[in-house]
C-alpha cells in the first residue's frame, strides 16, 4: 500500500502541476519597443532594483512618458532567476556582470558586481545608519524621513504580530519569514542563550536573532522587477528597451538632454539617441553609474583628461567605494540537521505548491545582528546561518579560491554540518571605481581596497569569535558542533584558533557580500566629497540625477537591496515634486 500511495500522490501532483501551468499561472510580458519616441519626460538608465521602482512610479501618471534602458535581457521566462535554491547557479552565468577587481594587496579574492543576483535577504539596517546620513549633510534622509518609504515598499507577511508603525503590509515587495530547517531554531536558541532577543530585526533597532526575512513569495523570488516593473510594463506611457548599453549622457549648456546608446553591445559608430524633456536618471549601480558619469565627462578632471574625455563637471565620481566583507566558519556535527539533497519529489513539490526545499535560498536560513563588544552603540556583526549544500557551491564559485587550493584544503562538505558566516558591518576600507578606457563596453577598473584598513580584519576575527560562542552553547553543542580544524592552505604554519591564524584566514577567505555602494556619494552642497545633493541631483548640472546604492554616503549595516528600493521610492517622490512645483 505504501508504494501505491506514493504513486497516487505523484499522479495527483502531476495533474495539479498541469492545471497550474495551463490555467492558473500566466506570466506577464513586456511590449516590444521597435521605435522609441522623439522625446520622453524621463529617461532611466538601468533596470535593476532602483530603475524598476522608478519606472513604475514615474509612469503612474499617464501624462508623463518614461523610457527605461537596460543593458541586459528581460528577466521574464527565466526560471533560474526565480527559483530561490538555484541562486548559486547564477554566479558567473549570463545573468552575472562578473566584474573583476584590480589585484588586491590585502586580500586574496577579487570578484564584484552582480545583476539580478542576491540571496533575497530583506534587511533595512539600523536606524542610526540613516540618522548618520542626515548628520553628515544629507538633509531629509534620517530614519524618520526614510521609514515611510520602507513601509510603502513592502508587504510583510508573518504569522507573528506586526508593528504597524514600523512595517508595511500593502506594498509591492512581498516579504516573508523563511521556514529554514531544523537547525534554524537551534541557531535562534543559541543566540538567545548569549542574550540576544528573538525579534523583528527590521524594526529599526536591529539587535537580535530571527529566521531570515526574504523577498520570496509562493516559493519564488519577489524582485523589484517582478513587484514593480512587471505590473507597469504594459502602460502606454512606459517604453522598455533591453540590450541597450548607454554610452554617455548628452549634456548641453550644463543640462542633461538625453542619452546615446547602442543595442546588444555591438561596437558601432552609429548610436541611437533618446532625448529627455525633464530628466535623465542614472540607476546603473555602484559600478555602472560612476562609469557612465565619467564617460559623460562627469568625474575627476585629472582622470578624465588622461583618457582624453572633455570634462563637463569636475566631481569625485567613483571615490568612496564601500562593501561588506564576510567570511565563513565551517562547523561539523554528529548528526545531519540541515537540508536534504534535492530530489525529483522536491522539484514537483516546488513546481506545484511553491513550497519545500527549492523554495529556500538555503545559504541563509537564520540571521542575527550581534555586538562584538558590549559597549558598541549598535551591532557590528551580521551572523548568517547557512547550510553546507550551499557551502559546496560557495567553495567552487568563490573568486580567487583556485581549484588547486580547494583540493589542497581538502575540507569535506559532505559530512554533517553547517556554516556560520560573520560579516563586519562598519566597513572602514574605501576603494575606487575608474575607467579603463573611453570605451563604454570595457568594464571599469574596480579597486575596493578589501581589508586595507586593519579594523576590518580585526572586526572579522571578532565575528569568528562570536561564531565560536554560538557553537559552544548547549543549543548547538548537543549536536556535537565544532569548528572544522582542517588547516587553510597558506595558514598551516600558524597555530589553529589563535587570532593570528584567523587574521590569516580572513585575508584568504574574506569574501565580498556584493553590497557595493557609495561611489556617487550624497552630501551637503558644500561637501567637496559629494557627487549628488540631498535631492540626488548631480552637482553643477541640471536635469540629471543618480538613484541607486551609489549615493549612500555611508554603507548601511545590512544588505543593500531593501535600502536601494527605499531610495528609489523616495527619489520618485522627490522627482515628481520637483517637476510639478
The catalytic residue positions are: 515
CB contact burial 447-462 (16+ within 10 A = b; e otherwise): bbbbbbeeebbbbbbb
Contacts with 551 (C-beta within 8 Å, 6 or more apart), sequence order? 520, 521, 522, 531, 532, 536, 567
Cα 56 from Cα 462, distance rounded (Å): 43
Contacts with 291 (C-beta within 8 Å, 6 or more apart), sequence order? 284, 318, 433, 435, 440, 444
- Grid cell, residue 214, equals 526574504
Report whether 151 contacts 169 (CB < 8 A).
no
β strands within 378-455, DSSP E: 381-387, 417-424, 432-434, 445-447
H or E segment and range at residue 454: helix 454-471
Phi, psi of 301 (to 5 degrees): -55, -45
Phi, psi of 39 (to 5 degrees): -150, 155
Q: Could you give the C-alpha distances from 434 to 72, 205, 288, in angstroms and in order?
A: 22, 36, 11
Annotated ligand binding at 34? The verdict is no
Q: Could you give the C-alpha distances from 437 to 114, 137, 184, 291, 309, in angstroms and in order?
A: 21, 33, 48, 10, 10
- Grid cell, residue 89, equals 547557479
Cα 379 from Cα 360, distance rounded (Å): 26
Q: Could you give the C-alpha distances from 318 to 315, 345, 423, 556, in angstroms and in order?
A: 9, 48, 24, 18
Phi, psi of 479 (to 5 degrees): -95, 10
Contacts with 449 (C-beta within 8 Å, 6 or more apart), sequence order? 104, 105, 106, 321, 429, 430, 431, 432
Report whether 358 contacts 350 (CB < 8 A).
yes
Cα 437 from Cα 509, distance rounded (Å): 31
Could you tell me which of 430, 499, 489 has the C-alpha nearest to residue 459?
A: 499
According to DSSP, the β-strands at 154-157 and 173-177 are: parallel
Binding site residue list for FAD: 246
Amino acid at each position: 500500500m505504501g508504494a501505491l500511495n506514493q504513486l497516487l500522490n505523484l499522479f495527483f501532483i502531476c495533474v495539479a502541476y498541469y492545471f497550474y501551468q495551463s490555467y492558473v499561472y500566466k506570466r506577464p510580458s513586456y511590449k516590444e519597443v521597435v521605435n522609441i519616441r522623439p522625446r520622453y519626460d524621463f529617461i532611466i538608465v538601468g533596470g535593476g532594483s532602483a530603475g524598476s521602482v522608478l519606472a513604475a512610479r514615474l509612469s503612474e501618471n499617464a501624462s508623463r512618458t518614461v523610457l527605461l534602458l537596460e543593458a541586459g535581457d528581460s528577466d521574464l521566462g527565466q526560471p533560474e532567476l526565480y527559483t530561490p535554491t538555484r541562486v548559486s547557479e547564477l554566479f558567473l552565468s549570463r545573468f552575472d556582470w562578473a566584474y573583476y577587481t584590480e589585484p588586491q594587496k590585502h586580500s586574496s579574492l577579487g570578484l564584484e558586481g552582480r545583476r539580478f543576483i542576491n540571496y533575497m535577504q530583506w534587511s533595512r539596517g539600523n536606524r542610526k545608519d540613516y540618522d548618520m546620513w542626515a548628520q553628515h549633510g544629507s538633509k531629509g534622509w534620517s530614519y524618520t524621513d526614510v521609514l515611510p518609504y520602507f513601509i510603502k515598499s513592502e508587504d510583510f507577511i508573518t504569522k507573528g504580530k506586526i508593528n504597524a508603525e514600523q512595517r508595511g503590509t500593502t506594498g509591492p515587495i512581498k516579504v516573508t519569514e523563511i521556514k529554514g530547517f531544523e537547525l534554524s531554531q537551534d541557531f535562534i536558541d543559541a543566540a538567545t542563550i548569549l542574550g540576544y532577543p528573538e525579534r523583528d530585526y527590521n524594526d529599526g533597532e536591529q539587535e537580535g536573532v530571527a529566521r531570515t526575512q526574504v523577498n520570496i513569495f509562493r516559493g519564488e523570488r519577489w524582485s523589484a522587477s517582478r513587484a514593480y516593473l512587471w505590473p507597469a510594463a504594459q502602460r502606454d506611457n512606459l517604453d522598455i528597451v533591453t540590450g541597450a548599453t548607454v554610452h554617455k549622457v548628452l549634456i548641453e549648456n550644463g543640462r542633461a538632454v538625453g542619452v546615446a546608446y547602442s543595442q546588444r553591445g555591438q561596437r558601432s559608430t552609429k548610436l541611437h539617441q533618446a532625448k529627455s524633456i525633464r530628466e535623465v536618471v542614472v540607476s546603473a549601480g555602484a559600478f555602472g553609474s560612476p562609469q557612465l558619469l565619467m564617460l559623460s565627462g562627469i568625474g575627476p578632471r585629472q582622470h578624465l583628461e588622461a583618457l582624453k574625455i572633455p570634462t563637463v563637471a569636475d566631481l569625485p565620481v567613483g571615490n568612496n567605494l564601500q562593501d561588506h566583507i564576510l567570511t565563513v566558519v565551517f562547523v561539523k556535527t554528529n548528526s545531519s540537521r540541515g537540508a536534504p539533497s534535492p530530489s525529483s519529489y522536491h522539484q514537483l513539490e516546488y513546481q506545484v505548491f511553491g513550497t519545500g526545499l527549492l523554495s529556500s535560498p538555503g545559504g541563509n536560513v537564520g540571521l542575527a545582528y550581534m555586538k562584538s563588544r558590549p559597549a558598541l552603540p549598535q551591532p557590528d556583526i551580521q551572523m548568517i546561518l547557512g547550510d553546507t549544500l550551499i557551502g559546496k557551491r560557495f567553495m567552487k564559485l568563490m573568486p580567487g579560491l583556485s581549484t588547486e587550493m580547494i583540493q589542497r584544503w581538502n575540507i569535506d562538505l559532505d559530512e554533517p554540518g553547517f556554516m556560520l558566516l560573520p560579516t563586519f558591518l562598519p566597513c572602514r576600507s574605501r576603494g575606487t571605481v575608474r575607467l579603463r578606457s573611453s570605451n563604454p563596453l570595457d568594464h571599469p577598473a574596480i579597486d575596493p581596497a578589501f581589508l586595507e584598513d586593519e579594523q576590518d580584519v580585526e572586526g572579522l576575527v571578532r565575528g569568528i569569535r562570536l561564531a565560536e560562542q554560538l557553537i559552544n552553547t548547549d543549543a548547538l553543542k548537543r549536536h556535537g558542533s565544532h569548528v572544522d580544524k582542517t588547516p587553510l592552505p597558506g595558514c598551516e604554519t600558524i597555530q589553529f584558533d589563535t587570532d593570528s591564524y584567523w587574521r590569516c584566514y580572513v585575508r584568504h577567505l574574506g569574501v565580498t557580500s556584493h553590497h557595493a555602494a557609495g561611489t556617487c556619494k550624497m552630501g551637503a552642497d558644500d561637501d567637496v566629497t559629494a557627487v549628488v545633493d540631498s535631492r540626488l541631483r548631480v552637482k553643477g548640472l541640471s536635469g540629471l540625477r543618480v538613484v541607486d546604492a551609489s549615493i549612500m554616503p555611508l554603507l548601511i549595516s545590512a544588505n543593500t537591496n531593501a535600502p536601494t528600493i527605499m531610495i528609489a521610492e523616495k527619489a520618485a517622490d522627490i522627482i515628481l515634486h520637483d517637476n510639478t512645483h
